[in-house]
Amino acid sequence: RPDAWWGARGTFGGSAGMSGPVGDSPASVIAGPPPQSWEFDVLAAAEAGGCGLREVAWEIFQSTGVTERFGVPDERFKAFLGRMELLYSVENPYHCALHAADVLAATHCLRMGLPDVFDDVEVLALYIGALGHDAGHFRLNNAFLKNSKHTLFRKYPDSVLENFHLGLVFELVEDPEVGIAEHLDPAQLARFKELVTHLILATDMSKHRILVDRFKDWMTRSKEEHAQRRRDAMLHDTIGSNVTGTGTSDGDGDGDA
């Protein structure tokens, strides 16, 4: 991007994608293709003004209806999104609120391209995990935190930053003023937290190869299982057609077993 795009504090527009209050119709301030499209450009939308994490997230969540089904009041969820946005530092040029909005938009597009197999808890966990996966990022990486024996490393010896982000997200989710935890029953909340934990910890790039290999193994097993089911179905159909042709289900029709 041209230098003019970067504000005095080294962030996009000087605000890292911080936006104004979410109105009744936030979609009207998002320029260009909508966030539900692969053509959505979060930087271009932010440059046009009035668009940040809150607007993008609000439109995506509204399109799914998931918060409504959990009974989360609109004003409370808008406040939740505002607090989520504030978890991202305006001093961070990359791991900022716009990055979180961009990841959420891409996550939504990926989900919409898959079969509709996700339940509401899974959708909520997936989208909150996308929004909060870098919450509180302060421009240092795990290697630096480990080598410098940082306080966070002593608290989280593995996946330091990811555990830090996760902790901030859970604090927000359970916040008595703006949190959404009270709108999930105990079983839903436990499952939601488990899913968000897996999702955010999986963003540790040192685990990338392990996760990719695990995904490849799953794909291979799935293809083999699918092929076996097709063979079983073909065999079943063949037997069924033979039985229909003989008019009996007990062999050759002469009474023998």
Cβ proximity of 14 and 7 under 8 Å:
yes
236 as an active site residue: the answer is no
DSSP line for 121-175 = HHHHHHHHHHHHTTTT--S--HHHHHHTT-HHHHH-SSSHHHHHHHHHHHHHHT-
Give, in order, the Cα–Cα distances in Å from 200 to each of 3, 47, 128, 204.
Answer: 32, 28, 10, 8
Active-site annotation holder among 95, 99, 133, 165:
95
* 116 phi-psi bin (left φ>0, alpha ψ -120 to 50, beta other): beta
Report d(CA 158, CA 176) in Å as an integer.
Answer: 30
Report d(CA 14, CA 10) in Å as an integer.
Answer: 6
Cβ proximity of 42 and 52 under 8 Å:
no
Cβ proximity of 54 and 26 under 8 Å:
yes
Catalytic residues: 95
